[in-house]
Amino acid sequence: MKRIAVLGTGYVGLVTGACLAELGNEVCCIDTDAAKISILQSGGIPFFEPGLKELVERNNRAARLTFSTSPKALAESEIIFIAVGTPMADDGHANLAYIQEAARTIARCMEGQHTKLVVNKSTVPVETGDLVASIIREHNSQGADVRVVSNPEFLREGNAISDFMHPDRIVIGVYDEQSAAIMKELYAPLAAPIIVTDVRTAEMIKYTANAFLATRISFINEIAQICEEAGADIKDVVAGAGADGRIGTTFMSPGLGFGGSCFPKDVMALARIAEKHRIPPKMLKAVLEVNLEQVPRCVDRLQSALGGLRGRAVAVLGLAFKPNTDDIRESPALRLVQMLAAGGAIVHSHDPAVGLQAALPGGTVRHVNVYESLKDVDAMVIATDWNEYKQIDLELVARAMRGDIVFDARNIYEPEVVRAAGLRYYSVGRLAKAAAIKPSVLVQ
């Protein structure tokens, strides 16, 4: 058992703290946000993540997981995880203000000569480990032996607990062998592959992974545009190309583009790192450019199908940037709502997890029931591919709507099924200009 402190109770910090407690460690999660800590101390969860509430409750009852606004636990811990936000600054670089403050707080709480590990769990640019180490040295008046480690997270929102408990790999960036040994011991119960590198390489691995996944999304969105114009079907293209073991089909689903708290800012931050070192980030910039085109393209197609947006009622189903989360940060669905409202449309919206208190453009009507959101609208847009929407009764949809347009921006329906319900079907990359050819004779 290790005594662990986690600075930050956001998505990464809370999941990390709860999972480390589940492994049998004594964990204290610390945050300066008193309201958030109050929620956690009273048994609540400040955001939606499947299974997290039960995990937190179980470990809190077992006295392995506690919450505090006081940094006192830092002095009592053997390992301190930094899991604070690194939002994008105005210039595209990662804003490290919270990281720097965390490092100063840690330094001021150091006592004695025992070795302490400070582990960067936040997504940070190359050289941040060096920055944290220098800040702690500068502000550490007690002469404590503090060693900095990089341990990037690879948690998918909506699947975070499984990703932590059953990881593809664990990346540990260290300056010394003793730190590596302590981290290996911590993660030993997971029986997962562990990759040990230097600190800067570990930091680079995280950005590389996120940038590559974002690249796949932008790539397939561009291919989908070609399919629409050339009369090909993107679903079959993905299935055929993805059957090649070198390619695969993960992150190859066209739609409104990527969003969330990671991909947009991490790709931009990596581009800024490249520019800092005088490397033109041509591919990274193209990834961002293609991604930004997806929502306006959807809006243009809707406007054309509706004969204009002003005064038209449009139901947008899904607000979170992906299913199984209530996160609307950089959500393309939210951007879609904003653009439709700006164009004069009357927007009705529904999301199974995003609370009614979420800030949306003025005039946007929120609904608790999905079918209520469709009443008398001219068009329905699938913006987030929640399972609830995959099982929707299209006959009820057709009766509820005033119009007949279904814009399937996540390609969750089969065109013929939607058309059989008397609705017009629009999608992303699925034979927009040509009917599917079903040959009756196979030429051998």
The three-state secondary structure class of 373 is helix
To the query of whether residue 262 is one of the catalytic residues in this protein, the response is yes
Which amino acid is it at 233? D
DSSP secondary structure of 33-67: -HHHHHHHHTT--SS--TTHHHHHHHHHHTTSEEE
Nearest to 332 by CA among 371, 367, 295, 300: 295
DSSP secondary structure of 172-184: EEESSHHHHHHHH
CA distances from 169 to 21, 41, 183, 192, 307 (A): 20, 32, 13, 6, 51
Determine the Cα–Cα distance for residues 31 and 83; give it in Å rounded to an integer. Answer: 10
8 A C-beta contact, residue 13 and residue 40? no
Determine the Cα–Cα distance for residues 18 and 339; give it in Å rounded to an integer. Answer: 38
User: Any idea what DSSP says for residue 341?
Assistant: H
Catalytic residue from among 28, 227, 262, 298 = 262
Residue 170 phi, psi dihedral angles, 5° rounding: -120, 125
Residue 243 phi, psi dihedral angles, 5° rounding: -65, -20
Residue 233 phi, psi dihedral angles, 5° rounding: -110, 115
Instruction: Give the residue numbers marked as catalytic.
Output: 262
